[in-house]
Structure 1
Amino acid sequence: MLDETTRLRLPLVRRLEAIGFRAWPAASAQYDGSWLVRLTPGHGSRRLNSINPLDPHDGSDMAGRLERAARRFRDAGLVPTVRQTPLTPPGLVAHLDATGWTRLSETIVMTADIPPHPASDELGHVPLRDVARFVDARMAIAGDPPESRAALTAVIEAIRAECGLFLFEDVGEGPTAVALAVQDYDLAGLLLVAVRPERRGEGIGRDIVGASLRWARLKGARKAWLAVEAENVPALALYRGLGFTEAYRYLYRTPAGE
């Protein structure tokens, strides 16, 4: 049984989930009923490699469906992972609890209205068109493993909505911050936001997020969304300072011992 608060926010959750899947497409996406199984071998993102139940009332044959999905993950050399959101059937959550599935990191999905900007004010920062250069910068800043380069490039190139690849650089120092904005109708997602560790706390993160939102607004977006780990206190402070508020949370579940 869903509580009233959860029931009332489900339409927003459904829309943001659908937009999020389009903004960050998996290499393989297959449905088992309303359960979406996403796989992207070669990329470590759990969001790209997860079982996503999308109807809180679709909890039939949970054990069988979990086993089928888990087999696909193991065949791909991956750990079976359920992404538990407000759309996850309560019965499935109880089943995962009863069978010892581990709860991993919690993520907060946040939204904010994108304010209009004075017509006389210019864009300021123009997004890149060079995906390879953006990927190299992201990997250098975030310390991503070299073997993930091809998969990250493929994910970005697979995005069908309009993208803004933002890169801040200092002469002689190289890339200092990156952000990916994906504009989809009136919504814009912010992904891959990262600031060089030694340059954090200087306002660079706020500047590159602001540049991304400005571009998205000019493209027609009126509301922005993003996902941030609940334990990332500095990022939460940054986003809250920009007017973002919590929409919902999700977490990942894996079988005990895997």
Structure 2
Amino acid sequence: MNDLPKVRRLEAVGFRAWPAASAQYDGSWLCRLTAGHPSRRLNSVNPLDPSDIRDIAIRLEKAAKRFSDYGRPLLVRQTPLTPPQLIAFMDDAGWADVGHTIVMTANLADLAREEGVDHLPSRDVGRFVDARIRVAGDDPALKPGLTEIINAIKPEVGLFIFEEADFGPTAVTLAVQDNDLAGILQLGVAEARRGQGTGTAVLHAALRWARLKGARQAWVQVEADNAAAIALYRRAGFNDAYRYTYRGPEAA
């Protein structure tokens, strides 16, 4: 059984940590759209009240038009807050599951105190974005959109870049400290440096910074099929909080 107040709080800090360019409410359904980045987290309908079940078909039709205007396929992010009637509607209509994600949390008081002492965050968003694109092998065309997203984050952000003089960036992540919670996002390790503890090192540097800033608990959203990342977070003390699924019409 999910702890719905905890889910609501983690959803709220997640939206603040990774802000969409457009965020519009239809009742308690939050429609997030971002022309500059294709991330499903930034381009999805997010129902936030299990009791909000009015006019499901009409509201989905309106959302589909809005998504079409952005050149995006309609996606609903199905979390423990999604009304059962909406889930049944999608089931009956044959909507596909197009991605599963695990939300994990960790108690920062359990973090080893010596980790990450020598690594401080960067303030250079452009440098961070370049490093992220390089270590992840992402499309360089995503740079303007990713830069815009990071610059729009309102809570305090720590940008972590690990580098080697003869290699360049080896790992990156960013931490968003929001009162007593800290989100870990965009963690990536260069392919040639994976399996060497680099991911653990950059993760702990970000977690230590967040704890020093006053965060007591960390959270992360990781794709359910990313076994290496899940193992990394579990070793760091993260445990499952809840799961969510992206769903879209078969035509999408």
TM-score (ref. length: structure 1) = 0.95
Work out the percentage of aligned pairs sharing the same amino acid.
Answer: 60
1:21 maps to which residue?
A: 15
Amino acid at match of 2:243: R
1:48 maps to which residue?
A: 42
Alignment of 1:83-122 (within 5 A): 83-115=77-109
1:134 maps to which residue?
A: 128
Which of 72, 76, 83 aligns to 1:78? It is 72
Provide, for residues 193-215 of structure 1, a one-character-per-residue CA deviation record: whole Å limited to 9, x for no partner: 00011211000000000000000
Give the drift of 1:105. Answer: 1.3
Provide, for residues 207-237 of structure 1, a one-character-per-residue CA deviation record: whole Å limited to 9, x for no partner: 0000000000000001000011111111111
Give the drift of 1:115. Answer: 2.4
Which of 111, 117, 125 aligns to 1:123? It is 117
1:159 maps to which residue?
A: 153
Structure 1 outlier segments of 4+, above 4 Å: 116-122
- The answer to whether residue 65 in structure 2 is matched with residue 58 in structure 1 is no
Task: Indicate if the aligned counterparts of 1:42 and 1:147 stay in contact, CA closer than 8 A.
Answer: no
Q: For residues 174 and 115 of structure 1, what CA distance do their matches in structure 2 show? A: 33
Which of 233, 243, 249 aligns to 1:249? It is 243
TM-score (ref. length: structure 2) = 0.97
Q: For residues 78 and 166 of structure 1, what CA distance do their matches in structure 2 show? A: 31
Provide, for residues 87-144 of structure 1, a one-character-per-residue CA deviation record: whole Å limited to 9, x for no partner: 0000000100111111011100000000267889883201001000000000011121
Q: CA RMSD in A?
A: 1.5
Secondary structure, aligned partner of 1:253: strand
Task: Indicate if the aligned counterparts of 2:116 and 2:201 stay in contact, CA closer than 8 A.
Answer: no
Amino acid at match of 1:232: N
Provide, for residues 61-109 of structure 1, a one-character-per-residue CA deviation record: whole Å limited to 9, x for no partner: 1000001011000011110111000000000001001111110111000
Q: May I ask how many residue pairs the two structures share in their alignment?
A: 252
Unpaired segments ≥5 residues, structure 2? none
C-alpha spacing 1:60/1:170, structure 2 compared with 1 (3 Å)? same
